A = this chain, B = another copy of it.
């Protein structure tokens, strides 16, 4: 799906004057400049006057520079993976899912893989892994706990109603994985603080650098939500968790620490395993 402004430019290009062609080339070569610079500066960059820049915009069929800039901004806003499926009718459902796809894609591109490696390493080395997440994040915590428990067998889901003194009984070589998303629950902060005081490694999975728990974190996994709806964090977070789980399973298998029965967890298309009593 080539953006509107490109097709327009190509169409009118032959009929443009010399000065306008300069501007046209600049637009195709470096559209980003048109977003962040004023028209006059575009002019000086391309070696023409501000007037010429505006003329060019009108030649494209826009009202003026402002309108072109506006469409460019819109264009830049949507993430650069417009997968065009020709004859498909968008419904509220499909457009919503596409929104999830876009968000995962953009997170993928900015993923801090070295931090994830450290997290996996820490998980594997830990005698015990305690997972915490309140409210919405409880779904994430449960997913990580359940599946990690299946891989390592030493995961624990923190439940405040029963695990009051849990941290006192936690072996020193353990870690805590906390999900902390906007807006931040007080209980999460208290728990993490206590863990940190006891010398337990703290891994935070969050959507914000300024989440109050970050100050106690040894490792931070950042999920970038941008201005996405609060529901969107679901799929992308689970996907990132999965990448951690899969790599953990992978490494454990390589080191031969673990029965082969976990194998199918790792790669797609492998045999399913009968011992896994599901849901």
Chain A contact residues, CB within 8 Å of chain B: 6, 9-10, 13, 24-26, 28-30, 32-33, 35-36, 45, 73, 76-77, 80-81, 83, 85, 88, 91-94, 96-101, 104-105, 107-109, 111, 113, 116-117, 133-140, 142-143, 146-147, 179-185, 188, 207-210, 224-232, 234-236, 238-247, 250, 264-270, 272, 274, 276-279
Contact = CB atoms under 8 A, between A and B. Distances in A.
B277 A96 contact: no
Given A210-B10, A226-B29, A135 B268 contact: no
A180 B226 CA distance: 33
A272 B228 CA distance: 10
Contacts of A32: 76-77, 80-81, 226
A199 to B, nearest CB: 25
A24 B208 CA distance: 10
19 contacts: A10-B209, A29-B227, A32-B77, A32-B80, A32-B81, A35-B36, A45-B227, A91-B113, A94-B113, A96-B239, A97-B104, A98-B108, A101-B101, A101-B108, A136-B146, A138-B142, A227-B269, A229-B270, A235-B242
Given A76-B36, A139-B143, A234 B242 contact: yes
Given A28-B209, A277-B135, A278-B183, A229 B265 contact: yes
Contacts of A230: 264-265, 272, 276, 278
A221 to B, nearest CB: 10
B231 A246 contact: yes
A78 B184 CA distance: 32
Given A228-B268, A246-B229, A278 B101 contact: no
A139 B136 contact: no
A241 B179 CA distance: 20
B6 A209 contact: yes
B111 A97 contact: yes
Contacts of A140: 139
A279 B133 contact: yes
Nearest to A206: B279
B240 A238 contact: no
A45, A116, A226: most-surrounded residue (chain B CB, <10 A): A226
B138 A279 contact: yes
A24 B234 contact: no
